[in-house]
Structure 1
Amino acid sequence: MSDQKKYVELFAGCGGLSLGLESSGWKLELANELSPMAAETFAYNILGENLKGGEYNSDSKVSYVENIKSIDVKDWKNKQLVVGDVVKLVENLKSRPELLERFKGIDLISGGPPCQGFSMAGRRTERDPKNKLPYAFVDFVEFVQPKAVILENVEGILRQFSKDGGTKLPWLEVAKAFAAIGYAPLCFLLNARQFGIPQNRPRFIMLGLKKSLKSKIIKKLKSRQQDEIKKIFQHAFEFAEKDTSFIMKYSGKDPAIHIDVINPRFAEMRNLNASEIFLNENLFPEFIEEEISVGEAIDDLAKYGYFKIKSSETTVRKPISGNKYSQSLSDKFTPILNHPLDHTLGLHNHELRNHSAKVQNRFIFLQEIRKIKNNEIRNCLEKCLRGKEVEDKYLERIRATLSNKPRLDGIINTNSNSQLLDSIENIRSKKHSQRAMAKNLPAPAQLTIPDDICHYSEKQPRTLTVREMARIQSFPDEFVFRAKMTTGGKNRRFEVPQYTQVGNAVPPLLGNALGKWVLKILE
């Protein structure tokens, strides 16, 4: 549709946010992703292009950042994905103003840069490479001048830290940086599980609105019921209207002009029975009443097997019919996918990893810990598994608890405190965040390393497959993850395999809700 609003996505990853935005009515103008592995997945699903081997010809919708220096303007208009460092992308675009013409009238720039680089000193000249990323995002927004910006990040951005004799609030530095270039920042915390996603995943969201939109938006908020919402928008616009020196020095203590993260408890509004004026897309995207458990999301996958039958040329997968949850994802997102769908192949990305006996025993132990109702005992067992000391009085109680668990026979020795600790030591891992999922609850926050999460089924003491993690992240089964499945060691510094692609992604259902919400505000 010619009247579709256009967006640019930076830090695009494998395409979770783009899939959500496209399904809510947005049209992609350009995306940028650093990792060739994640870009391969993005291009295959969103653009319908096979990048295997990494060679892009002149007809491709994909280009490298380095090519921007010499690319023909006509060819540039056809590119929809640029692979490489966003800092170099911004530098190369600045050196060629004629390439910026295609961004006129862009409505939205979205992305999730690492935000450790924001500091109270403003834009520093001496920055390490990571610190440049959020400022490259700001620079890109500044010269494209979209109507709105969506920045997504982890909950940890709300935590203050000490540096150079003072305290810093990363979220506030994000807000200040965008306010300084003329964008009113609305900052808040949402949880993915309130958008029909079977995962407890708190996310920081900043919506930046171009300050020229102030009168248009405020005028629409006319009813008494909307007064509180109007105040929040007004505070954000007033802050963006201050001069840059005030914004960059602002510490959050001036009562006359303030911005603040909306109380994080608002992320729990449905449970707190808070006022409905904030819901139904008035201030937040619309929440979904029904909470989805991990069992509802992936339980059907266990019925269909995980093996692949290989011949000399083809890979045949067992077909799958899906469940209510997966079917709803397919209905919403499959029309957006551009790769050739061959349903006769069944599931992709559903291969099991090989676990040693030690790892399987540890997963059995984690599953049994999950069943213990006494929080004190369960916490002590988790400490033991992390190698931390536990008082003898608790060890006696632990031994009594574990001695009644037949699945742990031959794994955990409960004859004495020392034997208990030795047997736990034998199945320990260096990891500190491992846990087993509970079937009847949303999954814990999706992590990028597969060994961090254990399946809930006693018949399957194992990590999740890529497909199971993708279901939990609200990707449809038809979305195909490309590149290698996992990696390790030093390769983790630069490789982004399938598991990491899934774990890093913005859940498409959350992207869909954000997309509809921003459209409503702009329209």
Structure 2
Amino acid sequence: MKHKKSSYIDLFAGCGGLSLGLHNSGMWEGKFAIEKSPDAFETLEYNLIKNKPHFDWPSWLPQSAHDINEIIEKYPEQLQKLRGSIDMVAGGPPCQGFSTAGRRVENDNRNRLIGSYIEFIRLVQPKIIFFENVKGFTQKFDKNKVKGRIYSKYVENALRRKNSRLNSLGYEVSGHLVDFSEFGVPQKRTRFILVGVRKDLAQSIIPQQFFSNIESNKQDFLINKGIGITNSLEDAISDLL
């Protein structure tokens, strides 16, 4: 008997790296992906739409690059009709304004996309949320003129709240910093990962368990993949030579 795959939407999808991982797991099928950059979307389309029919793309949404605010403004009714059919919304808003590797400017316009992300979640109300951003997302903007909030806490608190205007139930959420070099990634790559579960499901699915499970299963994961905790760049790409 064929196992029914879980559905998801990929926000700020880039060239489709996260969608590719979900596709390769064999457990997920994409509904659609939202990416503003035409070049990035063209790569995603080539790999995961034309060469691998991974998305069950809705007829109401043109299969092209889109700004998330455009989607929210043009298709709010269609998004609300997705309620009950989407298992997960995955992805994270652009990180450039938060990254300590760059200029780290709080009033970067891209930082406002956090609000767009929250609005999208409230419209669609997926069962679970998988959110990713840089380590700087968890830090204050102390050096800027605008003494800003810690955005990770803002997102967590906003997602927990119910929203009567959109009849949104809110989410139980848990956010942690994860060092991906401990999972075989050949670079020191610490990311903020937030997992959310819709409150009507939170008694049976506890978001904190996600982080407990990946920590307890880390060694088994590495052994099964045949890699070490300090996987080198040579180990990662030597098979490409």
TM-score by length of 2: 0.75
Give the partner amino acid of 1:192.
F
Q: Give the aligned length.
A: 214
Match of 1:195 in 2: 183
Q: Are residues 1:160 and 2:140 paired?
A: yes
Q: Name the structure where helix makes up a greater proportion of residues.
A: 1
Q: Are residues 1:16 and 2:13 paired?
A: no
1:59-80 deviation per Cα after TM superposition (whole angstroms, max 9, x unaligned): xx899xxxxxxxxxx8327x6x
C-alpha distance in structure 2 between counterparts of 1:286 and 1:82, whole Å = 40
Q: Name the structure where strand makes up a greater proportion of residues.
A: 2
C-alpha distance in structure 2 between counterparts of 1:175 and 1:295, whole Å = 38
Give the partner amino acid of 1:156.
G
Match of 1:365 in 2: none
Q: In structure 1, which of residues 50, 70, 85 is the aligned counterpart of residue 67 of structure 2? A: 85
Alpha-carbon shift at residue 200 of structure 1 (Å): 1.6
Aligned to 1:161, the other structure's residue is in SS state coil
Q: 1:203 to 1:277 in 2, by over 3 A?
A: closer
Match of 2:86 in 1: 106
C-alpha distance in structure 1 between counterparts of 2:220 and 2:75, whole Å = 37
Q: In structure 1, which of residues 153, 172, 193 is the aligned counterpart of residue 153 of structure 2? A: 172
Which blocks of at least 5 consecutive residues in structure 2 are unaligned?
A: 99-106, 163-169
Is contact 1:150–1:206 with CA below 8 Å preserved after alignment?
A: yes
C-alpha distance in structure 1 between counterparts of 2:78 and 2:124, whole Å = 13
Q: Quick check: which has more Rg, 1 or 2?
A: 1
Over the matched positions of the two proteins, sequence identity in percent amounts to 35
Alpha-carbon shift at residue 280 of structure 1 (Å): 3.3
Match of 1:150 in 2: 130
Aligned to 2:126, the other structure's residue is in SS state coil
Q: 1:165 to 1:104 in 2, by over 3 A?
A: closer
TM-score by length of 1: 0.37
C-alpha distance in structure 1 between counterparts of 2:153 and 2:3, whole Å = 37
Is contact 2:178–2:192 with CA below 8 Å preserved after alignment?
A: yes
Aligned to 2:13, the other structure's residue is in SS state coil
Aligned to 1:215, the other structure's residue is in SS state coil
Match of 1:43 in 2: 45
Match of 1:457 in 2: none
Give the partner amino acid of 1:280.
S
1:11-42 deviation per Cα after TM superposition (whole angstroms, max 9, x unaligned): 00001100111122111001000000000100
Is contact 1:62–1:82 with CA below 8 Å preserved after alignment?
A: no
Aligned to 1:42, the other structure's residue is in SS state helix
Q: 1:160 to 1:98 in 2, by over 3 A?
A: closer
1:459-486 deviation per Cα after TM superposition (whole angstroms, max 9, x unaligned): xxxxxxxxxxxxxxxxxxxxxxxxxxxx
1:286-306 deviation per Cα after TM superposition (whole angstroms, max 9, x unaligned): 7526132112233x4xxxxxx
Alpha-carbon shift at residue 279 of structure 1 (Å): 2.6
1:327-406 to 2 correspondence within 5 Å? none
1:232-261 deviation per Cα after TM superposition (whole angstroms, max 9, x unaligned): 57xxxxxxxxxxxxxxxxxxxxxxxxxxxx
Match of 1:280 in 2: 216
Higher relative contact order (CA 8 A, sep 6+): 1
1:176-255 to 2 correspondence within 5 Å? 176-181=157-162, 182-217=170-205
